[in-house]
Amino acid sequence: MAPQAGVTAKPVRRTGRTLAAGIALSILAGGLAGAVTGNWGDDTPPAATAQLPQASAPSAAGGGGPSIASAAESVLPGVVSVRAGRATGSGFAIDSEGHVVTNAHVVEGAREVSIVLSNGRTLDTEIIGVDADNDLAVLQVSGNASSSGLRSLPLGRSAELKVGDPVLAVGSPLGLEGTVTAGIVSAVNRQARFGDSGARQTAIQTDAAINPGNSGGPLVNAAGQVVGVNTAIATLGSSSRSGNIGIGFAIPVDRMTTIVRGLID
C-alpha cells in the first residue's frame, strides 16, 4: 500500500491552505508568537512544576460504563467560550489554579482575552504562554477561579485511544456556547500540518461535528476525560466557512500536557 500523504491544516476562521484533491483543512478561529517569560534571579527559588495528572479510562466491566449523556454533563462546567477581540473560540480548565487551555490562533494578536463559563459568568484572563508552532496557548483566570464555578477537567491518555472509540467535541461552534457533538475516533495517527511551523504532526481524526468556534475546545472520551484539543477541520473548497464535513482533527492530550507544563512553568 502506498504511504499516506500528510494533510495540511489551517485556521478555520481567518486563513486557509489548500489540500490535494480540492480539500482544504481549516483551523477553527485566529497564533500569537512567543512564550511565557519568568523573572529569574540567583536568589529566586524555581517555580513548582505544573501538575497535570493523566488517568486511564475506566474499563466497562460487565458491558456497563459511563454514558455519553453523563460524560457531557460532567464536562460542560469545565468548558469555556474564549473571546479575544473580534475572534472567538473555545477552551477548557485544566487545574484548580485557573489555567485554561485553548488554541494559539484563537488569541493571536489579542490584547484582552475573556472567557464565558457554562453558568454565564464572564471572567478576565491573562495569556501566560503560547506555543504557536503547536497551536496551543494557556490563559489564567484573574482572581479566584475556584469560586467562579469553573471546574477543571480530568485528562485522559490519547495513547490509549483506538479507532472506533466514542468521543465528544465540546465548545462554542458559531458562537453557540455549550454545544456537544458526538462521534468516534476515525484515526489515531493522522499526519497533519498546523501551527506556525507547518511541520507535520500526529493528530487524532474524528467525525464528531467540529465547526468554526470549536477551536481550543476539548475532545473527550466516554468517561469525560480530555483526550485532545480540537484544532482543525477539513472542508471542501477554499472557503474557511464551509463548515463540518465529518473530518476533524485534535492535538493529542499526551502532547498537550508536555507543552502546557512548559508554558506554565
Q: How far apart are CA 201 and CA 251, in angstroms?
A: 9
Q: How far apart are CA 200 and CA 239, in angstroms?
A: 22
Q: How far, rounded to the nearest angstrom, does the alpha carbon of residue 57 sit from its chain's CA centroid? A: 19
Strands (E), 98-225: 99-102, 113-116, 122-131, 136-141, 166-171, 179-193, 200-206, 218-221
Among residues 105, 207, 240, 242, the one annotated as catalytic is: 105
Q: Is 99 a catalytic residue?
A: no
Q: Is 135 a catalytic residue?
A: yes
* C-alpha cell belonging to residue 168: 465528544
Q: Is 265 a catalytic residue?
A: no
Residue 231: HSE in the Cβ half-sphere, 13 Å Cα cutoff: 33
CB 24, CB 190: distance < 8 Å? no
Among residues 135, 240, 242, 254, the one annotated as catalytic is: 135
Reduced to 3 states, what is the DSSP secondary structure of residue 113? strand
Would strands 248-252 and 200-206 be described as parallel, antiparallel, or unpaired?
antiparallel
Among residues 26, 215, 240, 242, the one annotated as catalytic is: 215
Closest Cα to residue 71, out of 158, 161, 169, 159? Answer: 169
What are residue 170's phi and psi, to 5 degrees?
-125, 135
| Residues annotated as catalytic (active site), given as ranges | 105, 135, 215
